[in-house]
A and B are shown apart, each in its own frame.
Chain A
């Protein structure tokens, strides 16, 4: 298929349709309202469901209901909206339903700002809502990857019966890039008769299905948590995605960075190379599961003097990086999160200070 020029937010909406998702519920919030505007027009053309909910709280449960009934469903929001949906995320994870949530991050905390940020790393990877659960978190670095990850997200959500979150930011949502929609990422929805509330008449067994998260018996609750834990362990084994940049050199510094920030780092690495300074980058594409072994291995290279996590936050992913480097190299951090994205020149200055 030929490439088309599309805004990130619109491309995410189109990718959901191409992936076979015909159901979308959302509440407007900058900088991602274009997804809703795009799908308000496109979904009726596809015979799908578009509904603007009364709040992100309600939207979270519209997603839960639709997912529990066995249909592919997605919502998109931005940081403060994701906070409001976090209650539902906890319930959906506990009740083991597949759903796709997109967070086009903006600056926080509080009302913060509407410019790009990566301040929701903790929220996405460490919980956000209450209880022991994880989201499978994908972090695209541009519009093309946002499309591909949106399409993959439905398959992953159904494989694990767990919510998947795509972590973009205001820049990925707002910028236009040429994209193509790969046909091979479209998958048929899985059979959900074993668990979804899609009506007893629909099932051969005539056994009723319950979608729930209440386990008053302590043994039963512990068992449900063990089932979830086993899924997260399987994700760690099977779903880790990352990219290594300039890692076949004798690099002196290893950058860890994801999303929009990683693109600036990539430019800085090219500019440093011209000066004869080799720097590598490990870019996690899955934030959960985190590429633990890859970070450990890449930091172990003899030439590597230091690891630095560069983020549009005040220091969040760096905690996972430190955990994985296991103390064998110094781990530094640089970040800004007011909405101004650090320039390649700034990154170069920071890197040189480490040498």
Chain B
């Protein structure tokens, strides 16, 4: 009998530093599986963000560059433009992508850059210790919003997939989640699809993944999954926001 289950080749043997219950590990695996399935490990370049996934280059087994905070899409643009034969992906969190890196992601998407962005939306800054993100929900507590996010002062949470879906340039923009096994399976398909579009040189591809941060939410991993399901998903609706024709 053959092996039924094994670690993707595109993941290294390194133990991750992620907290118990954090969903980064799931998404790392999904990305690595997509890279394996498509046989592109040796021509893939990942871009690590600043945030919890800054050390992603220790966990993926492919070439990697490390960007400054928010600049991964500009860096990916530079690589992909000069080496269109490489498969390039950025892996960014919500502080990185939706706050300091908003300009870079919108323009890269609008130019239709032929790389893939995996966007982890867990509604908070993780690495710096639970500060308010542009994606933090109204009333949600954060260390810089101790009484909960006051939308009169800080506006409403930004829905990145909706925003990028509005751009006229063709692209693949989808929002997925990894809170339940069925969602994980769907997210896997979406991530692979995103890389496939890149392989076909079709368009920019963007997969937002609604994730959890039990540590900074102050919840158990199980409670975090439930809170995300009940609070995040009604606001961050899952589905495709744009598909190339």
Residues of A bordering B, CB below 8 Å: 23, 25, 49, 51, 53-55, 57-69, 71, 73, 87-88, 91, 95, 197-202, 206, 208-214
A53–B76 alpha-carbon span in the complex (Å):
13
Provide the bound-state CA to CA distance between A313 and B75, in Å: 34
CB–CB A197/B64 < 8 A: yes
Give the docked Cα–Cα distance between A59 and B73 (Å).
11
The chain A residue sitting closest to B48, CB to CB, is A212
A95→B48 CA distance, assembly (Å): 14
A61 touches B41 (CB 8 A): no
**Cα distance A58–B67 when bound, in Å?**
11
The answer to the question of B114 belonging to the interface, with a C-beta cut-off of 8 Å to chain A, is no
Does B104 touch A at the CB level, under 8 Å? yes
Which residues on B sit within 8 Å (CB–CB) of A71?
Answer: 82-83
Interface contact A87-B57, CB-CB below 8 Å: no
- B interface vs A, CB < 8 Å? 41-45, 47-48, 54-55, 57, 61-68, 71, 74-83, 85-86, 103-104, 107
CB-based contact A212/B63 at 8 Å = no
Contacts of B57 in A (CB 8 A): 210, 212
Q: Is the CB of A65 within 8 A of B76?
A: yes
Smallest CB separation, A192 vs chain B (Å): 12
Q: Is the CB of B62 within 8 A of A69?
A: no
B232 to chain A, nearest CB (A): 30
Taken together as a complex, chains A and B put the C-alpha atoms of A198 and B80 apart, in Å, by 11
Residue picked from B44, B75, B80, most chain A C-beta under 10 Å: B75
In the complex the two chains form, is A65's CB within 8 Å of B74's CB? Answer: yes
- Contact assessment for A69 and B66 in the assembled complex, using a CB-CB cutoff below 8 Å: no
Q: Which of B44, B64, B83 neighbours the largest number of chain A CB atoms within 10 Å of its CB? A: B83
The chain A residue with its CB closest to the CB of B45 is: A197
Query: In the complex the two chains form, is B78's CB within 8 Å of A64's CB?
Result: yes
Give the Cβ gap from A19 to chain B, nearest Cβ, in Å. Answer: 16
Q: Complex Cα distance A66/B86, Å?
A: 12
Residues of A within 8 A of B76 (CB): 65
Do A57 and B83 have beta carbons less than 8 Å apart? Answer: no
Please name all residues of chain A whose beta carbon is closer than 8 Å to the beta carbon of B64 when the two chains form the complex: 197, 208, 210-212
Query: Which of B41, B63, B78, B86 makes the CB contact (< 8 A) with A209?
Result: B63
Bound complex: CA A201 to CA B63 (Å): 10
Q: Which one of A58, A71, A209 has the greatest number of beta carbons of chain B within 10 Å?
A: A58
Q: Can you list 11 A-B pairs, Cβ within 8 angstroms, ordered by A?
A: A23-B81, A25-B81, A49-B81, A65-B47, A73-B78, A197-B79, A198-B63, A199-B43, A200-B41, A200-B62, A210-B57
